[in-house]
Amino acid sequence: MSALKVTLGFATSPGIKTDNEDFCGSMSPAEPQLTHKGIAAAIADGMSGSEAGKVASQCCVVSFLADYYSTPESWPVKQAGQKVLSATNSWLYSQGQARYQSVNGMVSTLSILVLKSTMAHMFHIGDSRIYRLRKNNLEQLTRDHRIWLSQDKNYLNRAMGIEPRLEVDYKSFPLEQDDLFLMTTDGVHDFIDDKTLRKLLLGESGLTLLAEKIIQCAKDNRSDDNLTCQLLRIENLPEAKEDEILRRHANLPFPPPLQPGMMLDGYRIEAELHASKRTQIYLATDTGNGVQVILKTPSIIYDDDTLFIEHFLYEEWAGKRISHDNIVTVISSNRKKSCIYYVTEYLEGQSLRAWMDSHPKAEIKTVQNIVEQIAKGLRAFHRKEMLHQDLKPENIMIDRQNRIKIIDFGSVKIAGIAEAATHQSSGSTEEHILGTLNYTAPEYHLNQRGTAKSDFYSLAVIAYEMLNGALPYGNLPEHPDAGNLARLHYTPSFHYNPMVPAWIDGALKKGASIMPQLRYDDLSEFLYDLNHPNPAFLRTEDNIPLIQRNPLRFWQILCGVLGAINLILLYFLA
């Protein structure tokens, strides 16, 4: 199987100084982290004059290499790297203030390369450097964060541990076979010009020996600082459009139509619970422990559809990496699969759709409780950098204990996995609408990227429907476009259910806004407004025209007034 492969080499020396305040390191993990997280390398230079520069540089490299690989596999490189660096920076700054009462207590430069799939991701702060030699052309990829006061005097204006708020340069770019990356501290690159550096890089194939030659060249040029360089060469790249999950299952066949009593890898099929164009869902018994489970299988009509297979496999991937009381559990097993399927816990209960059919215009307190549980499940997705993208009553279960569970992962967008896919694709997978018409956020219909606010929209529509027995905009046209979306009008709850307070309707209206920028920025804000009167939404019934609030009552009163006027006129005429 094609996989990312690099060779590494490094050399370091204190030079003319007693202590070496530079530090470098790298990590090339085994699968599956090689695919999901990539290969990381870092170099740091403790700032001269800081009280603990040596400790700072070591902390920067070691903490990144440890903490980056501990972040969720679903996080994209940029998010994972920035979160780790922000935490490290906060610790360095606080330690510098607490131990040394100085902003220069624990300060270091830091340059990082993360190689994932066919892409390089670069984080940089300070004046250490990253170069790339490609097709005999040498290019400096980083920029020095230095302020020059004169030809001889300069200072770092950005580094780890200087400020409580971190500003890091980030860049990503495609890799090519035989790319050679050079990472250096200023004790090296300040004493070797680019022409000499390029000549050195072209003249030696052994990376450790090459690193030692570069260090020696800088020493020969009278370097007066610590000297460190690290080298990485791309030996092999993954094949385009290939993903580890897909590779792992690519040769497995689709399962045959399953009937009650049939056995599949130790699961006895009990009954088919649901079948659609895309998937089948079966109740089964694990004969190993007697526990009832759910088997989900793909439809055989998609056995040659790579995109469909990819999404189906992502369902299991997402489910296994997210654990929450309000999300169905995907069950892991060591048994070898004979075909493509996955297993989840069996939930005794009913879908939210079935519950809504038997509880039209449900009690407000009950709806508030259900919405809060759904929101907790959504938060678990969003914390893993996953968007559900198909939240609807049919994809939500209520078990015998009235516990809510989100049960479907078929449309989940996983940021970390999407990033591992080829960057040469057309993007059609990214923009393909996988949700359900009346619950899918409008931006998807306009081929715009979804965000967490897209899931907020779906939740608000579900809450509205539970309270009112209708949809906030009615049934949407089959193929919504910008024109007919702009003509949609929100129907206030009092048209369907006069028991819904205006402040709850205000929260629903904001949550289900057609324009994402008008929706809530956070689920907690929506939940709070759904449970506590927001003054902004406190429109009393006196502020709403009666003809809008209760058209029937308006015409009844009007007819009564007109009738009274007629009687009075008849009296005077008589």
Which neighbouring-strand residues pair with 129?
A: 184
Structural domains of the chain sorted by starting position, each given as residue range(s) with its CATH number in brackets: 5-236 (3.60.40.10), 244-345 (3.30.200.20), 349-543 (1.10.510.10)
Q: For residues 313 and 337, is the Cβ–Cβ distance under 8 A?
A: no
How far is the C-alpha of 346 from the C-alpha of 9, rounded, in Å? 52
State pTM to two decimals: 0.69
Coil, helix or strand at residue 471: coil
Q: Reply yes or no on whether 178 is catalytic.
A: no
Q: For residues 47 and 53, is the Cβ–Cβ distance under 8 A?
A: yes
In terms of phi and psi (left: phi > 0; alpha: psi -120 to 50; beta: otherwise), the region of 564 is alpha
E-strand stretches of 15-97? 22-27, 39-46
Cα 448 versus chain centre, distance: 16
Which neighbouring-strand residues pair with 457?
A: none
**Token duo for residue 387:** 């968007």
Among residues 179, 243, 390, 529, the one annotated as catalytic is: 390
pLDDT in tens, the chain (574 residues): 478 999 999 999 999 999 999 999 999 999 888 988 999 999 999 987 666 889 999 999 999 999 999 888 778 899 999 999 999 998 888 887 766 555 567 899 999 999 999 999 999 999 999 999 999 999 999 999 988 777 677 778 899 988 888 999 999 999 999 999 999 999 999 999 999 999 999 987 799 999 999 999 999 999 999 999 999 999 999 864 444 445 445 568 889 889 999 999 999 999 999 888 889 999 999 999 999 999 999 998 888 887 788 778 778 878 887 889 999 999 987 788 889 999 999 999 999 999 999 999 999 999 999 999 999 999 999 988 889 999 999 999 999 999 999 998 888 887 766 655 443 333 433 345 566 889 999 999 888 888 999 999 999 999 999 999 999 999 888 888 888 888 899 999 999 999 999 999 999 999 999 999 999 999 999 999 999 999 888 754 445 555 555 666 667 788 888 888 888 888 788 7
Nearest Cα to Cα of residue 385 among 148, 147, 176, 77 = 77
